[in-house]
Each structure stands twice: as structure tokens, then as C-alpha cells.
Amino acid sequence: ELIIDNAVTFPPFNPCSPNPCQNGGTCQPTNAGSFMCMCPAGYQGNCCELRTDPCMPNPCQNNGICTASGTSYTCACLTGYTGQRCETRDPCAENLCLNGGQCIPNGIGGFTCMCQNQYTGQRCEQRVDPCASQPCRNGATCRPTNSNSFQCICPPGYSGFDCSIREVCTPNPCLNGGACMANGFGGFICQCQPGYSGQRCQDSDPCASQPCMNGGTCFQENGALCCNCPPGYTGTR
């Protein structure tokens, strides 16, 4: 009679294979066919799945100081580092922006500088030249001021902030001592001295000084002075 033995041999059951303990816990079998986890510092639970102290071990990088709050934590970072775990180097820690510029991290490890009004450049290293745009007109000279503005030195005949206003009385267009007055419409009027007339006081008036004597009447004839004498008088004057 042929007898065939089909018995299969299984290895002993090991509840610790694979290791059910998390976070570096050590598994130990029990007599009841189960297991027990020996948890490292900072963890608890049947499988060491719970943190007892969120600051153990210290999750803060670069020597950040961990402060526990229930099951969560916050990191106080040392100067030069930022991020939830102090994992990011703060590019503005040394404030590379010059002349009062404000350093702003760009989120990718770099920074940008927000410059004061009178400075420009990647690091606010360059002073703005308010005269670069040539704001002064009519050949005026531009001079920067300390307040990031400019002053226009106007040539004769011009005035205004940017020398755009034409001074019609500079230089004086009136002749023979006449006084120039702007008429408000871009032109001028000449107030002539006695003895002169014309738009620019260019014409002399020989009768202005009343040269005729004894009540004689002065008049001009062909540009010459003439006197019309009263009865009883004669002569050129």
C-alpha cells in the first residue's frame, strides 16, 4: 500500500515581522502571540504613532528654538534663517540694500531692494540724477538739489520753474530810457520818457519840452521843430 505525506511545515508566527512599530520603535513579541512596541523619546501609542512632545526630537533646523503648543510647535529662528522649521536662509538678514533701501525676500532664495526716492539700482547704490531728463528749457542750466529735485538757472529773458516763461521785458526793448510793462498777452507796452514817443520810444518829440517862448505854439514840420508865434513876437522860438 502506497502512502503519500502531503504535510506542509510553516515557520513559527512572528508578530514583529514586518516591524509594526513606527518612528523607530522596537517591537517585542508577547506570550499571547501579539507584540509590544518600545517607543523612542517623544512618541507613544500602540505603534509609536503619536508624538508626546512635538519638540522631541527638535524639528527646528539651523539651531532654531522649538516651542510646543499641544501637539504642534513653533520655531524661533536664529538671525539669518526663516521658514516654518528655520530651513530657509533669510537673504535679507544682512540687508544688502544700501542708502536706506528696504530688503524684500523674493521667495526663491533671493531678494529685491525697495529704494528711497533719490536712489536706484539693484542695491539702491546709484543716486538718481533729476537732471538726466533735461527738464530745463530754453537753454537753462539744470542743477540737482539735496531734496532729489532740481533748480533751473534761466538765461536772460526767461523765468519759471523750468524757464518756460518768456520775459518780454528782459532785456528791455524800450529805447531812450522807456519803461517796459508786460501786457499779459505775451507782449509789452513802453512808457516813454518826456520827449520820446513810438511803440518802443524810438521817436523823439521836439515839442515835449515846450521850446517856443512867449506863448508860441510848437509843431513839427518834416521832422523839424517850428514855432507859431503870437502877435507881437517873432523869431525861430
Q: pLDDT tens digits for 10-23?
A: 677 889 989 999 99
Rounded Cα gap, residues 45 and 88, in angstroms = 33
pLDDT at 98: 93
pLDDT at 182: 86
Q: How confident is the model at residue 223 (pLDDT cuts 50, 70, 90)?
A: low
Q: pLDDT tens digits for 184-198?
A: 777 899 999 888 888
- Give yes or no for a contact between 188 and 200, defined as CB atoms under 8 angstroms apart: no
Q: pLDDT tens digits for 83-130?
A: 899 988 888 888 889 999 999 988 777 889 999 888 899 999 988 888
Residue 138 reports pLDDT greater than 60? yes
Residue 209: closest CA among 222, 221, 227:
227
CA angle 139, 144, 150 (to 5 degrees): 65
pLDDT at 4: 59
Average pLDDT rounded to a whole number, residues 153-173: 88
Q: Report the mean per-residue pLDDT for the chain.
A: 86
The fold adopted by the segment(s) 91-128 is: Laminin (2.10.25)
Residue 1 reports pLDDT greater than 60? no
Rounded Cα gap, residues 126 and 98, in angstroms = 9
Q: Do domains 91-128 and 130-167 have the same CATH topology?
A: yes
pTM (whole model) above 0.75: no
**3-class SS letters over 154-210:** CCCCEECCCCCEECCCCCCCCCCCCEEEECCCCCEEEECCCCEECCCCCEECCCCCC
* Residue 235 φ/ψ region, left for φ over 0, alpha for ψ in the -120 to 50 degree band, beta for the rest: left
CATH superfamily of 130-167: Laminin (2.10.25.10)
The domains of the chain are located at 91-128, 130-167
